[in-house]
Amino acid sequence: IKAEGRNGYRFFDVTMQQEAQKRWQLEEGLYKAVERNQLEIWIQPQVSNEYVITGAEVLLRWRHPEKGMISPMDFISVAEESGQISAIEEWVLEESLSLLSRWQATNLPSTFRHLSINISPSHFMQADFIQRMLPILERYPVPGINIEFEITENLLINNFKQAIETMQVLQEKGISFSIDDFGTGYSSLRYLNQLPINVLKIDRSFVSGIANLDDDAPIIDVILLMAKKLNLEVIAEGVETQIQHQFLAQRECSLYQGYYFSKPMHHRDFFNLLMQDNGV
Ligand code: C2E
Ligand code: CA
Ligand code: CA
Ligand code: CA
């Protein structure tokens, strides 16, 4: 038993070492990725019950020369730990504004309201977040109303006051906020009322529970009712089937994001889709 234990430990140790090496390689690669333009903006439509595109989420992709496309699931946490996330998300904001200003030179459908950008908690809570983001916003002729920031509930645990202040400054510029992955993190009913939030994004895990035995229907009911009372919009994330869409539509959900409507696509393809008929 003792020998087995030792072997087990050694095995664990080796994989830990491999993991550490993999992360280090990702971290090194990520520095080059920014310099060498390997990061790409992909976009997933957000649609109404009438299949009109009312907004869209910006999702990062890393086109690695040897490894192919790398998912943000694999590199965002690395970027957060290494401190690269701020520079990366400043780039994302810059690119998004640049896209919006080019798009607005065409006849963008008036039903399209904004691009939603994910902001990492570690970035959002940095002391110079505002000082660094505002000049980027001011560099482009894009109204703040065309930008939404997605933040998570966990952001609010540590420094509620600072979070509110940051949000208020940006709100004055027209920027709106949504709570991402709603229902999965630290939830306090109080913050919903105190923060300048406009949208709750129901996490995919609740949506995929629809029509299963472990039905998440009551939770979705409660979120929709609460949002209505608090005058918040709701987006259901990760809608994959017609059954899920129907279920949500019957409960007066009005906005959706998911493979059933459209997968994320390169920003060029998104623009073409938007200009075609503004529907998916
Ligand atoms: P998220 O913010 O929850 O984004 C939604 C994710 O769900 C995306 O994964 C999207 O492709 C996926 N998705 C959308 N509809 C469906 C569906 O119907 N079924 C399934 N199974 N998945 C669906 P993606 O693009 O791989 O991004 C993963 C996560 O990476 C994002 O989750 C977000 O947390 C993070 N991420 C991406 N870009 C950024 C960024 O610029 N900054 C930060 N901080 N995080 C980012
Ligand atoms: Ca998001
Ligand atoms: Ca989400
Ligand atoms: Ca999620």
Per-residue pLDDT tens over the stretch 13-37: 778 888 888 889 999 999 999 889 9
Task: Note the ipTM here.
Answer: 0.97
Mean predicted lDDT score pLDDT of the chain: 91
In angstroms, the CA 35 to CA 55 distance is: 29
Q: Is the CB of 92 under 6 A from ligand 1?
A: yes
Ranges of H-type helices in 66-112: 72-82, 85-104
Q: Residue 71: name the closest of 80, 84, 82, 61 by CA.
A: 61
DSSP 193: H
* Res 1 pLDDT > 50: no
Amino acid 2: pLDDT: 47
Q: What is the DSSP code (8-state) at residue 52? A: B
Q: Which ligand is nearest to the CA of 205?
A: 4
| Binding site membership of 120 for ligand 1 (Cβ less than 6 Å) | yes
Atom in ligand 1 nearest the alpha carbon of residue 59: 38
| Greatest Cα pair distance in the chain | 72
Distance 123 CA to ligand 1 centre (A): 17
Q: Note the pLDDT tens digit of each residue in 43-71.
A: 999 999 999 999 999 999 999 999 999 99
- The answer to whether 44 and 57 have CB atoms below 8 angstroms apart is yes
CB 104 within 8 A of CB 142: yes
pTM of the entire structure?
0.93
Q: Which of 161, 101, 91, 171 is nearest to 123 (CA)?
A: 91
pLDDT at 280: 65
Q: Cβ distance 270 to 56 under 8 Å?
A: yes
